[in-house]
Structures are given as C-alpha cells and as structure tokens.
Structure 1
Amino acid sequence: MLPLKGIHHVSAITAKAPQNYEFYTKTLGLRLIKKTVNQDDVSVYHLFYGDEKGNPGTELTFFEIANAGRVHEGVNSISATSLRVKSDAALSYWKERFEKHSVEHGEIAEAFGRLTLSFRDFEGQRLILVSDENNAGVAAGTPWEKSPIPAEYAITGLGPVKLTVAVPERTIEILTDILGFRAKGSYPSDVPGQPDIQVFETGEGGTGAEVHIEERLDLQQERLGRGGVHHVAFRVENEEEMHKWIQKLKAERIPSSGFVDRFYFRSLYFREPNGILFELATDGPGFDTDEELEHLGEALALPPFLEPRRAEIEAKLKPLDTSLS
C-alpha cells in the first residue's frame, strides 16, 4: 500500500455563499474551480476553490448552510487551516493587503521554523498563511493567471492542518498506526501553559503533508457552525489504492462510509476517536472532467447521477453569479 500523499482538501461551512465567493476569489485570489451542490444535501451549494485547475492539495471547499449558527470554538476540532505562499516576503505583502481590506489578522510569527501569518475571514474562519521559503516536500500548486494577486505572492495550496483535541494520544494513534504518518517534531503553543504542538507528516513531507496536534485542557467541545471546518481529506494515489484503504479500515474494525464516488474524486470517510471527520480522497479524475479548464466554476456543475434533477435542484438554490464576464 502506498503512503498517503498529503492534504487533499479541507471542507468548511459558510452561511453566505456570495460573500464567501467574493472573499476567497477577490481578496485571497483563489480560483473558484467548481460550483456544485453537496451531494448528500442538494439544497446546499458546495464551492471549491484552488489553484489554476484545482490540483489535489490546493482545494479549500465550503458548504453553504444559510441558517448555520456561529461556530463555538473548542476541542475535538479542525481548528486552523493553513494556506501556502512562496516566500517570507509574501507574508509582508499579505499583511499590508489585510490591513487595506480590513481583514482581521495577527502578526508575522515563527512556528516550527517557518514564518506564518494568522487571519480570519468575514465569518471568523481560522486561517494561517505559511511561508514555503525553506520548505522541502510535496510540491505546491500553480496560481491562476487571472488571479488579482501577483504570482510571486499568490496562495499556492494547502499547508498544515491543525487539530485541537483533549486526548491527543487517541488521534496520534490513528495518524501513525493506521494512516502511516510519521512524528516530525514539536513547537511551543502560543497559549501560555499549554503543551507543545506536535507535528506529523506523510508522503514526501513538507508543508503540504503535515498535521499539527494541539492538546487543550481548557476548552469545551467545539460546536460546529459557520466559520468552522467540517472535515479534512488526505490524498490517495488512485482508486485501486482506495480499495486497499477500505480493506485496511475493515481489518482494523474502524467504521467507515466505504467507497463513495464523488465523480471528481473517489472517497472514504471515517471519524477518528476524538470525533474529527477524516476523508481519504483520490487525486483524480479531477475538476476538468465535465467543464473546460478555462471555464471552471462559472456555471452550476452537477455529476451525471444528479444531472436528471437539475431543474429541481436549481429551483431550490439562490442564484450565485460566478461568471467572469
């Protein structure tokens, strides 16, 4: 069995798709690579952002749940999503841009030997820019040429994902014994009196293949809502490998969804012992299987098994203009 290749995507919750589209494309300069629906609830938009073609490891996605309450931050959660940039200099560019656009942000700081810049979107989504200045490992994506952000400063993909848990040993056991992650080191928490944050990596390693585990004993259970993260997905080479992972989880008596065909990729879902939802997702087929590359995200895309219901689905969705004209 091949090792997992890194982070595939992170899926979060928004209550306002139009503002979400505006922030992630106009302010952050990501490309909307797919405007579709949640396949488990077709009344809900599912928006995918990424690099020029939505390469695996660059995808940040959002379910629009219009009546979602605000997330109540706490343990047993995906508490921060990192976004990669090419250099330390890019962080200075972003700090200035955030100030210009009134985006809530912290200061440029070092974490695990890299410079970072924390910030939040308009719903409080916890995000971190991380510099790849000295990074080695999983390759970054390619910024979209029509992005409003200069290429040298553009976001190039997903960086480390932080999990905040009350009992780290249980999550670490799944990461290392089942999923094959390796311990890489640790760094001090920015919360006084809390244990060091532990770092684990998979595949080629580097910022695109890390999970950071934060232990917190001072927080309650997180209540998911707008501004929170629904799940994190890890990269599987292909469908053949996915079936091997399905058999492995069965052998370990870990309950899972089994094989799920998402059309743009194949998936498997399960919860680790602290209740965080993990997904394994194949690198392909990709987001240009049903749309031309130059027109990704401009119209509502439906996988073939939902296409017969298009009129019904569109009637229940509020129009969302994502055309580039």
Structure 2
Amino acid sequence: MSIKTSGLHHVTAIGGDPQRNADFYLRTLGLRLVKTTVNFDDPGTYHLYYGDQSGRPGTLMTFFPWKDAPSGRLGTGQATTTSFSVPESSIGWWKQHLGQAGVEASQVTNRDDEDVLTFRDPDGLQLALVAHPQGDPRDPWDTALVPAEHAVRGLHSVTLSVSREDATAGMLGDLGLDFAAQDGNRFRFTAGDGGPGALVDVLVTPDAPQGLVARGTVHHVAWRAPDEPTQASWRAELVDRGVNVTSILDRQYFRSIYFREPGGTLLEVATDEPGFAIDEPLLELGRALKLPPWLEPDREQIQAVLPRLDLPSENDMAGTDRA
C-alpha cells in the first residue's frame, strides 16, 4: 500500500446566510477568511475558506453558504462533528467567550485525556473545541477578540457517523490511517504522526437515521496529498481497488479527487500545493472575490448574483495590531 495521508486538509460544510457565516467564523471563532471565491460547480454561491494566517492545510474549514438552503439532518453516512484544536489551558476561556457571544455550549467533558467543549454554529453545524494534552505547535491567527494564547490552532479531528464500522475502517486503512483506540462505540484512527489535525473518530450508531446533507451539515472531508504526482498515484491505486473515484479536478488552490467511503461520507484527497497566495498577497487574503480563469469572463454576472459580503476588521492583518 502506497497511500499514506499525513492528515486532514479541510472540511467543507453547507451554511446559510454568508454574512452571518463570516461574522461567526471570523469574530466568534477567530479564524481568518483566506479566500473569497465561488463554488466552481455552482458559481451562483460563495465558497468561503477559513483558516490560519496563510490557510495552511489542516487548518481549513470551508463553506458553501446558501441563504435559503433547507436544514439538513444529522445521522449516519456523514461527518457529524468537526473539532478544532485549542490550547489545553484555554477551554475555560472559550466557555466564557462563547457564552458572551450568545453561543450555547456544553459542559466541558474529558475523552481520551482531552478536554472537549461542544456547540453549534448559527446554522446548527455541530462543532467542538478540543485541548490535546501534548499541545499543538501550529501558530494561530491572532485577533483582538480571540488572542493568540487562546486561539484555534487548526482542525483537530472529524467524527464520521456510521451504522457499522468495519467497511469504513477498511477504507481509512486504505488511506494510510491506523487504528488507535476504542471507547465504547467510538473508534479512533490516526494519520501520519497522529495528534491534532490527523485524527478521525468513527462513531457507530446503528439505530440513528440516515443523515441528510444540507444547511448545517458537512458536505465532505478532505485528506492531504503532498503534490499532484502523489495524488495521481493514489488515485490509480484506489481505482485498482474498485473505488469509484472522480477525475482529478482543478480547484485553483489545490487539486482534488472525490469518492465515498462505504459508510456514505463523501471524502476528498486534496494537494497541499499550490496554496492560497497564488492570486493575491498574503496581507490581502480573502478581501476580494477571486475567480478561476475559466470563470473570469463571467465576473460581472456572478457578482450580480452574489449577496454583499462585508468583512470585519479581524480579517485584516493590520486590524490585528493591538499595540
């Protein structure tokens, strides 16, 4: 087996009102909007990418926000919780911060020696903040509302809900993940060196309803490939194993292939290259609507359809200066 992903690349979900989405992820969660673009397959809606200062793989949460999208339903066959990594000493700060922002959060629980705080975004997407006891060395985005000492370091893990675990576990093994631990009906798998950003939990809930992917649910989970030749090799290997994989698609900031794991969740393998600074400077990430070359001729029509999006100062590197 040659496939060996190093961890999560991004998680993509379906949101509602784009302005409300941006305000929550920029101001409440303290992430940076690193790219404002459109859904390349449906350019009548935004595709918003949130992450750290430069949008490194493993820090990214992205959204297709449709203002009038119907609500989804959590259940089997989908990723039901997206977890972010925060410093071990910051869970109490986050509990207070979320409360001040009007976000109802759970009591802090401990699972696998990690403190966990769960809550939902304005569209009902299930999220968690997790403090890993060994820490997380990734540098955070620093804002006045969420200072660096407490800020999100990046993705921690995703939870896949399935009716049975064997086939899903097999697919995760095909991607190079290793079984790490079991806690009741929760099975943990690790990629690469393990730790935050390289974890997936498989939650077995045979009596749960089938999930419905719509507003407030995850659309797909993406895993990292270092470059295009590696991705092409992995795709060929998956095809040889009988997996129904898409062709390699140009997503401008990375290349992608998509397929479903046997439990039903849509997975992606995305390249680390070329990144988000290929069409705008680091200082200006996310400020302007960026379109791929094949959609640029339609810019006027696309902009006429998209709702206005005003970014708060927390997305401006100059606006993070609290001196």
Give the superposition deviation at 1:209.
Answer: 0.6
SS, match of residue 159 in structure 1: strand
Cα distance in 2, alignment partners of residues 93 and 234 from structure 1? 30
Q: Report the Cα distance in structure 1 between the residues aligned to 2:243 and 2:53, rounded to whole angstroms.
A: 36
Percent of pairs identical after alignment? 40
Secondary structure of the 2:197 match is helix
Determine the C-alpha separation between the residues in 1 that align with 2:56 and 2:169: 27
Shift in Å, 1:149: 0.7
Q: Deviations over 1:107-144 (max 9, x none)?
A: 11111121111111111110010113324xxx653222
Per-residue CA deviations over 1:209-229 (Å, capped at 9, x if unaligned) read 111000002211011221100
Contact map agreement 2:3 2:176 (CA 8 A) in 1: no
Are 2:196 and 1:199 equivalent residues in the alignment? Answer: no
Q: Secondary structure at the match of 1:127?
A: strand
Which secondary structure state, in structure 1, belongs to the residue aligned with residue 223 of structure 2? strand
Partners of 1:221 and 1:80 in 2: CA distance:
15
1:185 aligns with 2:174: no
- Aligned position for 2:35: 34
Residue in 1 that maps onto 2:13: 12
Runs of 4 or more, structure 1, over 6 Å off, are: none
CA distance in 2 between counterparts of 1:297 and 1:60 reads 14
- 1:251-270 pair list within 5 angstroms: 251-270=240-259
Query: RMSD in angstroms over aligned alpha carbons?
Result: 1.4
TM-score, normalised on structure 1? Answer: 0.93
Q: CA deviation at 1:67?
A: 2.3
Distance 1:83 1:50 in 2: 11
SS in 2 for 1:214: strand
Q: Distance in 2 between matches of 1:3 and 1:268?
A: 15
* Gaps in structure 1 of 5+ consecutive residues: 189-195
Opposite residue 72 of structure 2, the aligned amino acid is: V
Q: What's the CA shift for 1:66?
A: 2.3
Instruction: Report the AA paired with residue 56 of structure 1.
Output: P
Structure 2 match to 1:158? 155
Work out whether 1:274 is the aligned partner of 2:263: yes
Q: Does 1:228 align with 2:209?
A: no
CA 1:147–1:249: 2 relative to 1, 3 Å: farther
Say if 1:147 and 1:300 are closer, same or farther in 2 by CA, change over 3 A. Answer: farther
SS in 2 for 1:3: coil
Which of residues 207, 218, 221 in structure 1 aligns to 2:207?
A: 218
1:132-170 C-alpha deviation (Å, 9 max, x unpaired): 3324xxx65322234521101000100110000002111
1:191 aligns with none
Counterpart code for 1:167: R
Q: Which residue does 1:209 correspond to in 2?
A: 198
Q: Quick check: 2:3–2:175 contact (8 Å CA) kept in 1?
A: no
**What do residues 69-124 of structure 1 show as CA deviations (whole Å, max 9, x unaligned)?**
1111211110100001122x210000011111110210111111211111111111
* Equivalent of residue 168 in structure 1, options 161, 165, 170: 165
Aligned residue for 1:155, secondary structure, equals coil
**How big is each residue's C-alpha offset from its partner over 1:40-59, in whole Å with a ceiling of 9 and x where there is no partner?**
10001110000011000000
Work out the CA distance in 2 between the residues paired with 1:253 and 1:123: 36
Structure 2 CA distance for aligned equivalents of residues 93 and 143 of structure 1 = 16
In structure 1, distance between residues paired with 2:183 and 2:137: 23
- Match of residue 193 from structure 1: none
Alpha-carbon contact 1:114-1:134 (below 8 Å) kept: no
CA distance in 2, matches of 1:162, 1:312: 38
- Within 2, Cα distance between the matches of 1:187 and 1:285? 38
Flag the 1:140–1:14 CA change in 2: closer, same or farther, 3 A.
Answer: farther
Report the Cα distance in structure 2 between the residues aligned to 1:211 and 1:42, rounded to whole angstroms.
31
Cα deviation 1:217-245 (Å, max 9, x = unaligned): 22110112211000000011111100111
- CA shift for structure 1 position 2: 5.7
Comparing 1-10 and 292-301, the one that deviates more: 1-10
Aligned to 2:94: 94
Residue 113 of structure 2 contacts residue 133 of structure 2 at CA under 8 Å; is this kept in 1? no
> Normalising to structure 2: TM-score of the pair?
0.94
One-letter amino acid of the structure 1 residue matched with residue 177 of structure 2? F
1:277 shift after superposition? 0.3
Distance 1:298 1:146 in 2: 16
1:262-308 deviations in Å (ceiling 9; x for gaps): 11001110011122100000111001110110111111011222212
Aligned equivalent of 1:192: none
Establish whether residue 318 from structure 1 lines up as the match of residue 318 from structure 2: no
2:321 maps to which residue? none
Show structure 2 runs of 5+ residues with no match: 317-323
Say whether the 8 Å CA contact 1:184–1:199 is kept in structure 2: yes
Secondary structure class of the residue paired with 1:91: helix
